[in-house]
Structure formats: structure tokens, C-alpha cells
Amino acid sequence: MALVKGRLPTADGAADAVPRGLTTLLTDLAAPEPGVRRKAARELESYPESAMVLCDRLQVETSPSVRSMLFITLIQTQSSAVAVRLAEFLRSDDAPLRNAAIEALQEMPDAVTPRLQALLVDEDSDVRISAVNILAALRHAQASEWLVGVIRVDPHVNVCAAAVDGLAEIGGPEAVRDLRELRVRFAGDAYMEFAIDTAISRIGVE
């Protein structure tokens, strides 16, 4: 799901000048027609206090276009409370919901950053992979350092592979020593060896 920043126009091409009342919009959010729900989700951008209701709606919404609008509206809040709530979806068995949550959190750098270190050591390896993917996209000042921390200690090959891919994009020379040590740790794993060699090559260190 490609999430788009910014306030979206209405169907006739003009942005809503005066938002409808909160009670009306919350009622429309549960309407049978997807178009009505989507319009309500868009207009609820004017009511930040509705954010948790929008998060609740994500769990039951069946229309991809409405779900996309819900995420877009939530991104506008740039709220740490919303980031915490969206991070819960990283555990979801619903792959489209999980992936959309990752994309949304990548658009909320200041809100999600305080949560990342806890997510990077979560007991669920899939959550750790999602956290690595979010971190790599944030271009946070400490992102490379945190990814190096992952490859130093994480025992799961897929988590380390995700971190290596991230370091290939944002890592600096300081990551090379740890990448080489990781190569030794996963010696014999052809994919990891290739990924690590690629990361070192992209960093530009022989």
C-alpha cells in the first residue's frame, strides 16, 4: 500500500472547507458503503482526538481503499500514542495490515523512534525484522549504530539479514568490522555471505 502524505482532496477535487461534526463522522466511519467510510476517515483528520477510534477501525476494516485512508489520516497526527498503537499491528497475522503499519511508521520518524529500541529486542523475530525495516527507512542519526547493534547480538538469521540490507543502504565504514564478524558467524550460509559482501561493497571499503 503506497501511503501519500498531505491532505487529500474530496471527490470533486476541492478540499473540504468546513469539517462535519465529530459525531456524524464517527457514525459514517461504520457505514455500509466504503465510499462513506473513506470520506469520514479523510475528514477525521480535523479531529486528532479520534485517532484511537481510527486505530480500532483498522482492525475490522475490509476495504483496502478505506484502510489506506485511515492510515493516511493517522500519519497526519505524528502522535507517539498513535505510533505505539500502530506498532501493535507488527504482530498481526494480516500481512497487508502489518505491511501498511510498517509503511505508516516509516512516515512518523519522531513518533516511532522512542519505540524502536524496544521493538529491536522484542521476543518475536518477525517484530524485530519489521523494526529493522522501519529503522533503515528513517535515516535516523543513530540508525546505522542501532543496526550494527542488531547484527552483533541477534541470533536470528533473518533479523540479521534485514539489518545487513539496511546497512547496505545507510551504513558507514564503522559497520564493516561487525559485518565481517557476522560473515564468520554465518559462514556457510550463501545468502548471508552474499548480502554481507554486497553491503561492504556498497559502503565502499575493500
pLDDT of residue 14: 43
* Boundaries of every domain in the chain: 1-77
Q: Considering the entire predicted model, what is its pTM?
A: 0.86
Q: Give the residue among 168, 125, 134, 127 at the shortest CA–CA distance from 148.
A: 168
Q: What is the pLDDT of residues 22-81, one digit of tens each?
A: 999 999 999 999 999 999 999 999 999 999 999 999 999 999 999 999 999 999 999 999
Q: What is the pLDDT of residues 105-148, one digit of tens each?
A: 999 999 999 999 999 999 999 999 999 999 999 878 889 999 99
Residue keyed to cell 498503537: 85
pLDDT of residue 13: 42
pLDDT of residue 7: 44
Answer yes or no: is pLDDT of 2 > 70: no
Contacts of 123 (CB under 8 A, 6+ apart): none
Alpha carbons 65 and 56: distance in angstroms, whole number: 16
Contacts of 156 (CB under 8 A, 6+ apart): 125, 128
